[in-house]
Structures are given as structure tokens and as C-alpha cells.
Chain A
Amino acid sequence: GAVVSQHPSRVICKSGTSVKIECRSLDFQATTMFWYRQFPKKSLMLMATSNEGSKATYEQGVEKDKFLINHASLTLSTLTVTSAHPEDSSFYICSAYRGAGVGEQYFGPGTRLTVT
């Protein structure tokens, strides 16, 4: 099956700093990747859609200047949380769209961000 990785799996940072999370599709090319956020005991909420070579599309209420998304290649998308604050602490999950086959979205293992 298709594999999607995320790095790092866990990160702790201080308030005001920036954190970059990488999402890679390891064995397929992904023209589209999605970034989700999940708070404790809540469901996944879509943050943005990342298309290779173009600007990301953000969901309503998600600040594009705070959550910078770059999809520079067909196998890598990055999410940078800028000037992180404790309320940004969450579980961030990416998914990659292969565009073929069943269950065509494949999810990464997630990144646990804690802002102190």
C-alpha cells in the first residue's frame, strides 16, 4: 500500500518560535496533499489543500500567514507554524492524494506539536 511519512513525529517548541512539519509520499507522486488538525478528543479538521506548484487553499478561519504551506515537489509538502502559541498545540496530520486506486487518500502518522 501507499506510504506517507511525517517528520517530526513529536516536537516541543517555545512560544513565538516557528516549527516546520514535513509530509512525504514515499512510493507515489502526490499532486495534492491535505493538512488536518486534530485537538484532543475531537475529530480531524481540514486546514488547507496543498497543490504542487501552486498556492495552497485554506479553509475558512485558518490564517494563511500563520500556517505556511509549501508543496515544492510531487512527494513533499511542508507546513510551517509561524510564531507558535500554546493554542497551536495540536496533532497535525497530512494526507496525500494518489489519484488512482481505492482509498485514494493516504494519511501520515501525524505530528504532535506542543508549544510551551
Chain B
Amino acid sequence: DAKTTQPPSMDCAEGRAANLPCNHSTISGNEYVYWYRQIHSQGPQYIIHGLKNNETNEMASLIITEDRKSSTLILPHATLRDTAVYYCIVRVARSSGSARQLTFGSGTQLTVLP
């Protein structure tokens, strides 16, 4: 699986958009970009994933560059409860039906400030 690079920490004002970048310059054509977050002392929570098109769901938007070498997770209106470590993971979605583990990097500690 391709390696990802994220800034170690970011701050965001409550109510503003939080834009979390991720570099994955060695991504392969069949690898997806997944985003998970981990609130302190809890298990990771799935946020969103995408292949090459931009994606949006009720939690966030995912913007993937045309060359797919980087992406940005956008939380449109950050709240205090969005304070967490955000992990960007690149991985093949499935491999002939077999399960693939997620390899977590260091992630970005997002702190939403009141």
C-alpha cells in the first residue's frame, strides 16, 4: 500500500471549515484514499473514501487532485467534537474478496478551538 504524508497537527476555529491535506505521491491506479478519525480513547471511525472523483457525504468532502498524488479532507463546519486524530490511508479496496488490513500512519491531530 502507498505511503501517505500528513501534517502532525492543525488548529481550526469552531464553525469554520477544516481542510486536512494528505500526500500520497506513490499511489497506484487501483488504490483508494480512505479517511478515518480517532477521537481520544475511542476506536477509529470511518469518514469517507474515494478513488479519483471528489466525494461528499454527511460528514465530510474528499477532494482528490487530478494526478491523484494528494487529497484534502474538508469538514465544512467544524465543531468541538471534531477534535480528533485524522488518518489518511491509501489501500486497494478489496482483493478478490479477501480482507485487507488498514495501515495507520501518524495522522493529523486536529484541534477545533472555541
A contact set with B: CB distance below 8 Å: 4, 6, 31-32, 34, 36, 43-46, 49, 91, 93, 95, 97, 99, 102-110, 112
B contact set with A: CB distance below 8 Å: 34, 38, 41-46, 48-49, 87, 93-94, 97-99, 101-107
Beta-carbon contact of A99 and B99 below 8 Å: yes
Beta-carbon contact of B99 and A91 below 8 Å: no
Give CA–CA (A45, B101) in the complex, Å. Answer: 10
> Using Cβ atoms and an 8 Å threshold, which residues of chain A touch B104?
36, 43-45
Given B41, B49, B93, which contacts A91 in the complex, CB threshold below 8 Å? B41
Known pairs A46-B103, A95-B43 / 19 extra A-B pairs, C-beta < 8 Å: A6-B43, A31-B99, A43-B87, A43-B104, A45-B104, A46-B101, A49-B101, A93-B44, A95-B102, A97-B99, A99-B94, A103-B34, A104-B93, A105-B46, A105-B102, A107-B44, A107-B45, A109-B42, A109-B43
Give CA–CA (A6, B93) in the complex, Å. Answer: 25
Q: State the main secondary structure of chain A at its contact with B.
A: strand
A31-B99, A49-B99, A49-B101 known; A44+B106 contact, CB < 8 A: no
Q: Taking the nearest CB of chain B, how far is it from the CB of A66, in angstroms? A: 20
> Using Cβ atoms and an 8 Å threshold, which residues of chain A touch B99?
31-32, 34, 49, 97, 99, 105
Give CA–CA (A99, B96) in the complex, Å. Answer: 11
| CB nearest to A4 among chain B residues | B43
Give CA–CA (A110, B38) in the complex, Å. Answer: 11
A99-B97, A102-B49, A108-B43 known; A43+B105 contact, CB < 8 A: yes
> Using Cβ atoms and an 8 Å threshold, which residues of chain A touch B41?
91, 110, 112
| Complex A-B, nearest 9 residue pairs according to Cβ-Cβ distance, in ascending order | A103-B46, A107-B43, A32-B99, A97-B99, A44-B104, A43-B104, A107-B44, A110-B43, A93-B43
> Using Cβ atoms and an 8 Å threshold, which residues of chain B touch A31?
99
Q: Taking the nearest CB of chain A, how far is it from the CB of B99, in angstroms? A: 4
> Using Cβ atoms and an 8 Å threshold, which residues of chain B touch A4?
43
